[in-house]
Amino acid sequence: MRTFLLLPLLLVTPAAAQQPREANYDESKAGNFTLPDPLVFADGTPVRTAAEWRNKRRGEVLRLFEQNVYGKTPAVRPFESERTSIDKNALNGAATREEVTLWLAGRQGPRLNLLIYKPNKRKGRAPVFLGPNFTGNHTVNADPGIKIAEVYDRSGVRKPGAETARGSGSSRWQVEKAIGRGYATATFYYQDVFADNKDGRAASIIPYFEKDPAPDSWNAIGAWAYSLSRALDYLSKDRDIDARRVILHGHSRLGKTALWAGAQDERFAIVISNNSGEGGAALARRDYGETVHRINYSFPHWFNANFKQYNARVNDLPVDQHMLIALIAPRPVYVTSAVEDRWADPHGEFLSALSASPVYKLLGVEGMTATAHPPLNQPVMSRIGYHIRSGVHDVTAYDWDQFMNFADKHLPKGR
């Protein structure tokens, strides 16, 4: 994803935006910083009880992220949906495949196309992995029954994807494996609701909710996160799906999105952030790999306008990303890194997961049991879970095995 998406976006960035400096990869220069304490109110008083976190501090932290980072998500608008296909005999009879259109911004607005696989062999309602995809629904599995999605090409033109791309992203989805372990899967093409470029807002779902952006308005990540919650609304009404057991997952920019969606919407039972990096799990204050300045420069449409104020003064941010993870408490959360994915700052991702632990403990549940960065390929399956695997920025079969092990361990029992 990274190489081909990053280059064209750099070319269209306004010349006025100041060029960020080269990324640092020297651990000794990653910075000496003090993280804001999730368990201290903005007025400096300590958060002493679970009730104080629940009733007051959680909302305060959420507002700080809206105000300074992702933007404010508007009130939910009712939406229409329509199932456009069903095949009860998909994947050689192992699954039922359904395709559903959601109109989140009225019938004239963008369509979100949800692709769902449900295991045919199951007792009761199925738990589901829900996550957006990068390349179109037809790329998540070679199943010839999936409608070819309209996707954006490199020059930003939206058109039907190539027949030859069917299943090209299947290693990142592992649909058969999930079905085999009793999980349903649901996905949509993330650019359905907001095209991923600096001018994407105009034709996105956002103008339907608000005309002129304010400094704290939501932006692409906010719109993608909103869509995940609406997909959950839809799935909650599906009698084959257990709405209490929805696992939200995302990779990279979509890992950032999953964390933000999971922080806001407490109906998600588990949240998984895969290689989400800057603006996701990685600590903003650590100067290693991508920085706040760099991400705002390359992707000005992801976060709100206020976030740009922190380009050169990241230590003034009233939050850091461990507090985003803390917003998911007490629900289980799983953070992953890849050792060669230095751009995403694996150690910063781990430290942030670790630093969310005090909130989990205040709420009376286990946090992260590891106290130091675990060795390669040795997953930590505590309630805040973590692994660092060998290899590059990607979602692999290994990652999926751990996602499912984590879900098996932490999901509430089925009905």
Give the catalytic positions in this structure: 252, 393
Each residue 5-24 as x (binds ligand GCU by CB under 6 A) or -, in order, gives -x------------------
Q: Which of 73, 139, 229, 252 binds ligand GCU (CB under 6 A)?
A: 252
Selected range binding ligand GCU among 1-9, 10-18, 78-86, 355-363, rule: CB under 6 A: 1-9
338 touches ligand GCU by CB under 6 A: no
Nearer to ligand GCU, 288 or 343 (CB): 343
Q: Which of 66, 242, 278, 394 binds ligand GCU (CB under 6 A)?
A: 278
Taking Cα atoms as reference points, which of 220, 217, 189, 183 lies closest to residue 205? 220
76 touches ligand GCU by CB under 6 A: no
253 touches ligand GCU by CB under 6 A: yes
Each residue 297-336 as x (binds ligand GCU by CB under 6 A) or -, in order, gives -x--------------------------------------
Q: Which of 90, 140, 241, 295 binds ligand GCU (CB under 6 A)?
A: 295
Q: How far is the CB of 347 from ligand GCU (least distance, A)?
A: 16
Selected range binding ligand GCU among 92-100, 207-215, 290-298, 304-312, rule: CB under 6 A: 290-298
Instruction: Give every CB contact of residue 44 below 8 A, 6+ residues apart in sequence.
Output: none
CA torsion 188→189→193→197, rounded to 10°? 160
Instruction: Give every CB contact of residue 57 below 8 A, 6+ residues apart in sequence.
Output: 38, 39, 41, 47
2 touches ligand GCU by CB under 6 A: yes
Q: Under a CB-based contact definition with an 8 Å cutoff, are residues 218 and 71 in contact?
A: yes
Q: At 302, phi and psi to the nearest 5?
A: -80, -45
Bridge partners (DSSP) listed for residue 185: 117, 129
Q: Residue 340, exposed/middle/buried by CB under 10 A (0-12, 13-18, 19+)?
A: middle
Q: How far is the CB of 253 from ligand GCU (least distance, A)?
A: 3
Taking Cα atoms as reference points, which of 68, 71, 72, 73 lies closest to residue 311? 68
**Which two tokens mark 33?**
């910083």
In 237-355, which residue ranges form alpha helices assigned H by DSSP? 253-264, 292-298, 321-326, 346-355
Q: How far is the CB of 140 from ligand GCU (least distance, A)?
A: 16
Can you give the binding site for ligand GCU, defined by CB under 6 A?
1-2, 6, 252-253, 277-278, 290, 295, 298, 343
